[in-house]
């Protein structure tokens, strides 16, 4: 078997794993498995199988910066917009609208939807209590967003 596939792997479930799983479940529920930016949604439910969901539960304050697994530190984003958010190509304003970096306009783009969402409102969570926290948003605006 290549790469040791088939070997027994030792695994354990830690409290961190449980928190991350709960974070994902809550966020996808709050945003109805849609991207908060483009509303893309792919959800396949089949009996006896785990659901197939394209959307990611994205951290606003990154895990590497010790961002908490709290729904107020998260957004449901499609893979493309999760990547763009982590790269600072857009951020979220205090009014929960999308703010696209001017760097995006300097990029070579082909069939890449991002700048057209500039100024658009994010899809809100189902419950106000799960709305992105302003401290998390400010962290992303100041530490990750490409200012120009």
Whether 59 contacts 74, CB under 8 Å:
yes
- The residues that bridge with 121 in the sheet, in sequence order, are 97
Residue in 26, 27, 28, 38 binding Zn ion, rule: CB under 5 A: 38
Q: Does 84 bind Zn ion (CB under 5 A)?
A: no
Q: Does 33 bind Zn ion (CB under 5 A)?
A: no
Name which of 33 and 103 has its Cβ closer to Zn ion: 33
Q: Count CB neighbours of 49 within 10 A.
A: 8
Q: Does 37 bind Zn ion (CB under 5 A)?
A: yes
Distance, in Å, from the CA atom of 64 to the CA atom of 81, rounded to the nearest integer, reads 19
Q: Does 81 bind Zn ion (CB under 5 A)?
A: yes
Residue in 26, 27, 28, 35 binding Zn ion, rule: CB under 5 A: 35
> What's the distance, Cα to Cα, between the start and end of the chain in Å?
49
Distance, in Å, from the CA atom of 89 to the CA atom of 146, rounded to the nearest integer, reads 6
Sole window of 34-42, 55-63, 97-105, 137-145 interacting with Zn ion (rule: CB under 5 A): 34-42
The contact set with Zn ion (CB under 5 A) reads 35, 37-38, 40, 78, 81
């Amino acid at each position: 078997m290549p790469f040791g596939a088939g070997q027994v792997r030792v695994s354990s479930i830690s409290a961190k794993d449980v928190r991350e799983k709960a974070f994902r479940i809550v966020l996808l529920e709050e945003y109805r498995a849609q991207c908060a930016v483009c509303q893309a949604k792919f959800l396949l439910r089949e009996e006896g199988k785990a659901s197939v969901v394209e959307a990611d539960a994205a951290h606003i304050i990154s895990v590497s910066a010790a961002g908490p697994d709290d729904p107020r530190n998260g957004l449901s984003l499609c893979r493309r917009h999760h990547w763009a958010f982590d790269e600072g190509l857009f951020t979220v304003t205090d009014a929960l609208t999308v703010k696209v970096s001017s760097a995006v306009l300097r990029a070579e783009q082909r069939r890449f939807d991002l700048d057209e969402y500039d100024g658009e409102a994010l899809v809100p969570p189902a419950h106000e209590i799960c709305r992105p926290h302003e401290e998390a948003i400010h962290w992303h605006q100041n530490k990750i967003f490409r200012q120009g």
